[in-house]
Amino acid sequence: MQIAQEQIQAHNQAQQAAHQRKIDFIAAENANIESIIEKLVAFQVAIPSWALGTGGTRFGRFSGGGEPRNLEEKIEDIGVLHQLNQSSGAISLHIPWDIPENPEAIKALAAQKGLRFDAMNSNTFQDQKNQEHSYKFGSLQHVNKAVRQQAIDHNLEVIKQGIALGSDSLTVWLSDGSCFPGQLNFREAFQNTLESLKVIYAALPANWKMYIEYKAFEPNFYSMTVGDWGQSYLFASKLGPQAYTLVDLGHHLPNANIEQIVSLLLMEEKLAGFHFNDSKYGDDDLTVGSINPYQLFLIFNELVEGMDARGMNHAKDLGWMIDASHNVKDPLEDLLQSVEAIMNAYAQALLVDKASLVAAQQSNDVAKAQEVLQQAYRTDTRAIVAEARLRSGGALKPLELYRNLAVREQLIKERGAQTVATGL
């Protein structure tokens, strides 16, 4: 399925006058609007291949219909998202949920939709059919060397597949850990994991990065072997300069100060990138910005500040990915909302009056510092984000157009009401 360019243009024309009033208003208030728009145009968020179906909870899964039945259809879906917002120009694959049987053809299809392959994700947290050893008691940490080797081999295979697709990074998320005190020797689990990661690290092409993702709990509930940013940082620093920490917003204990974590990892040149989502309690997989948009803004504020301090390219030097897949929304609508929330938080962070913030910090003017941040946060940046989309050929109101064009209904017609995408 593909949206005709004329449909996007017709939609934009109908919205143009109202949009122009809004963008003129913001431009009159903020001098640097043009440079913000340029940055927004360049900024792309990778869509995870596992988020295109309706995600499940432990208790059930309710398919919304028209879900992609294979990798080609997933790429098609992301192509539709990208047509609408021009900010979803990358896909992150999870192996073996999505195995590119014919990498050249898959690569060509993605390129035709304007998509590139972002980080590859390995999976040693589930047993696959015909797998020799079980990961019930961990993978890279396992007490049995043969299990560790199997998990290492899987990661090596994922790197190979990534090379064929033109990806340049591997995300390793491990569910390894323990559920009960005494189950595991923490040091041994760490060392086993480190030794295993070293073998994988050694197989990385020179231009590749390894992202080590941490998670506080789940599925293990007593200890996680990569449980927080400190542990991830330890692994990353012991491995070497191609290894980094990946921050998934849903993987912290309640009230963690994620923006501070981000700031320090950036300072240490060990921040790889993000898995964006939102949460109220744990790893809730909720739409980005749906629960705590202020936190999202504060994270972007640290990102912009820290990246600028090191002269980094906002669009290219970190990996920006969504990792959320919920049960009750149309996945494509959910993803449109997530990308929109990310773009707005980024735009708001770009609006922060840096000189005033620094002056307030240096004079311990706490109230002024808060005013500066909230001035940016409370600016309605939606028209700026829409203008960036317009200039890139996207839709002024992606979600509205998605509904007006009845995209989901068409997908159900094409694919059927009972399809279930691979993934969680």
Q: Which does 98 bind (CB under 5 to 8 A by kind): Mn ion, ligand PSV, none?
A: none
- Measured from the CB of residue 156, what is the shortest distance to Mn ion in angstroms? 21
Site string for ligand PSV, 364-383 (x = CB under 6 A): --------------------
Q: Which does 424 bind (CB under 5 to 8 A by kind): ligand PSV, Mn ion, none?
A: ligand PSV
Is 248 among the residues that bind Mn ion (CB under 5 A)? Answer: yes
Instruction: Return the residues of window 26-65 that contact ligand PSV according to CB under 6 A.
Output: 50
Cβ pair 276, 51 in contact under 8 A: no
- Bridge partners, 245 (sequence order): 212, 271
- Measured from the CB of residue 303, what is the shortest distance to ligand PSV in angstroms? 19
Q: 220 vs 301, which CB is nearer to ligand PSV?
A: 220
CA distances from 318 to 269, 272, 341, 398 (A): 11, 6, 18, 25
For the chain, the C-alpha Rg in angstroms (whole number) is 22
Is 215 among the residues that bind Mn ion (CB under 5 A)? Answer: no
Site string for ligand PSV, 200-219 (x = CB under 6 A): -------------x-x----
Q: For ligand PSV, which residue of 173, 208, 229, 244 counts as binding (CB under 6 A)?
A: 173
Is 121 among the residues that bind ligand PSV (CB under 6 A)? Answer: yes
Is 259 among the residues that bind ligand PSV (CB under 6 A)? Answer: no
Site stretch for Mn ion (CB under 5 A), options 25-33, 71-79, 321-329, 359-367: 321-329
- Measured from the CB of residue 31, what is the shortest distance to ligand PSV in angstroms? 40
C-alpha to C-alpha distance for 321 and 80, rounded to whole angstroms: 17
Cβ pair 124, 190 in contact under 8 A: no
Burial 318-357 (b: 16+ CB within 10 A, else e): bbbbbbbbbeebbbbbbbbbbbbbbbbbbbbbbbbbeeeb
C-alpha to C-alpha distance for 176 and 215, rounded to whole angstroms: 10
Q: Which does 215 bind (CB under 5 to 8 A by kind): ligand PSV, Mn ion, none?
A: ligand PSV
Is 275 among the residues that bind Mn ion (CB under 5 A)? Answer: yes
- Measured from the CB of residue 93, what is the shortest distance to ligand PSV in angstroms? 11
CA distances from 390 to 125, 279, 375 (A): 41, 31, 26
Q: Render 159-213 in DSSP notation, one character per residue.
A: HHHHHHHT--EEEEE---EESSTTS--HHHHHHHHHHHHHHHHHTS-TT-EEEEE
Number of residue whose CB is nearest ligand PSV: 173
Is 278 among the residues that bind ligand PSV (CB under 6 A)? Answer: no
**Sequence-ordered alpha helix ranges (H) in 310-406:** 331-350, 354-362, 366-377, 382-392, 398-404
Q: 248 vs 278, which CB is nearer to ligand PSV?
A: 248
Binding site residues, ligand PSV, CB under 6 A:
50, 121, 173, 213, 215, 248, 275, 283, 323, 424
